[in-house]
Amino acid sequence: MKFNTHIQNLPIYEAGKPIELVVREFGINPKNIIKLASNENPLGTSKSVIKTLQKVAKNASLYPDDSFYELKDALANLYSVKSENIVIGSGSDQIIEFALHAKTSDKNAILVSGTTFAMYEIYAKHTGAKVYKTQSKEHDLNEFRKTYNEHKNEIKVIFLCIPNNPLGDCLDASEVMKFISEVDKDTLVIIDGAYMEFAKFKDKKKAINPKDLISKFPNALYLGTFSKAYGLGGMRVGYGVGNSELITALHKLRAPFNITTLSLAAAIAAIKDKDFIKKTLKNNLKEMKVYEKFATKNGIKFIPSYTNFITFIFDETKNATQISDNLLKKGIILRNLKSYGLNAIRITIGKPEQNKRVLGELKKEI
């Protein structure tokens, strides 16, 4: 069977190993497994969300309200925008897919940072688009400017992952706004704010306000998700915020009922539980310092992170793959960044007792 030529060399996204796989492979009791590989919320899901899911479960046979009225209204109030400025997706990566199908083809290209979320490239190649990357692994806007100006006629979408996954680096909001002002109005600039809740809690200079963004730049799209700070990774709910013309275009690519009845209810409940979010952010910032202290004490390079994870980069005397594999056999699931061309591991910031065990075992490996 023949397939479209542009998918022949398309990479498959490598997700973090699930607990179930580790149980099967190594026979470890699930209670003894710590998963800090996929940047899920270590505090789990808010109790109010769980109660809501228990109530709504009886409606699992029914399609959700496809207007997503209540969720859009809650997001509109959160960001002081209008409901027509919001599109809902099955995770924010579905919005990425919509945007690339709306703007790219095999005749043009996208621009991304040297090391960033892999799905930008994968979805771009779904449309046959070329991918330009900066030489620097972290976001360097001067390099973005240089590459963009060299290929302005080709580049139709620019991705800025703020903060950046899988490295954790984060540009200041003022830098981002200045950069967008220099970009052609027909070039779509996507601000992926999947980890923005953590960034703005740590440093207000990093905070990008969707209202300010879309009011100044009709060619900007802000992405958010319920998978990280809100603790709904398993529910798959994301959203995009943009001007009404852009959102209308994205809606044309959205299939009906693209999130579930349970997912919709969970997201509505999650956005109301502000205490859970505060608890999540405080735990993350406090425990992040534990990892930074460990790295400094043990001579491990790390990138100052504005997310809910930290990336440890090893020198040539250490092998990140070997370290990851050894820890996996002990029931500790971390993210090996070999697929990104890095001798590094990414560790989701867990609860204190999880972090203590992880760093204790990591110490034995280094």
**What is the CATH classification number for the domain harbouring 243?**
3.40.640.10
The percentage of residues in the chain with a pLDDT greater than 70, rounded to a whole number, is 94
Number of compact structural domains in the chain: 2
Say yes or no to pLDDT of 19 above 90. Answer: no
Q: What is the pTM of this model?
A: 0.93
C-alpha 342/C-alpha 362 separation (Å) is 18
Angle at 79 between CA 119 and CA 161, to 5 degrees: 25
Alpha carbon of 115 to those of 189, 193, 352: distances in Å?
17, 16, 29
Chain segment 210-252, per-residue pLDDT in tens: 999 999 999 999 999 999 999 999 999 999 999 999 999 999 9
Residues 96 and 53 in one domain: yes
C-alpha 145/C-alpha 188 separation (Å) is 14
The domain boundary residue, chosen from 249, 272, 295: 272
The domain boundary residue, chosen from 272, 299, 332: 272
For the residues 323-349, what does the mean pLDDT come to? 94
Specify the higher pLDDT residue, 13 or 31: 31
Find all residues with CB under 8 Å of 115, minimum gap 6, and list them: 137, 138, 164, 166, 167, 340, 341, 342
Residues 173 and 282 in one domain: no
C-alpha 340/C-alpha 356 separation (Å) is 27
Average pLDDT, the chain: 94
Q: What number of CA atoms fall less than 13 Å from residue 341's CA on the CB side?
A: 6
Residues 252 and 299 in one domain: no
Per the structure, the complete domain to which residue 36 belongs is given by 14-44+275-365
Is 300 in contact with 324 (CB distance < 8 Å)? no
Tokens of 321: 């793959």
Residues 227 and 241 in one domain: yes
Residue 4: the pLDDT is 74
Find all residues with CB under 8 Å of 18, minimum gap 6, and list them: 35
Specify the higher pLDDT residue, 25 or 147: 147
- The two most distant CA atoms of the chain are separated, in Å, by 56
Residue 148: the pLDDT is 98
For the residues 197-213, what does the mean pLDDT come to? 97
For the residues 313-342, what does the mean pLDDT come to? 93
Residue 28: the pLDDT is 72
Specify the higher pLDDT residue, 307 or 7: 307
Specify the higher pLDDT residue, 13 or 268: 268
Residue 9 resides in a domain = no
Residue 82: the pLDDT is 97
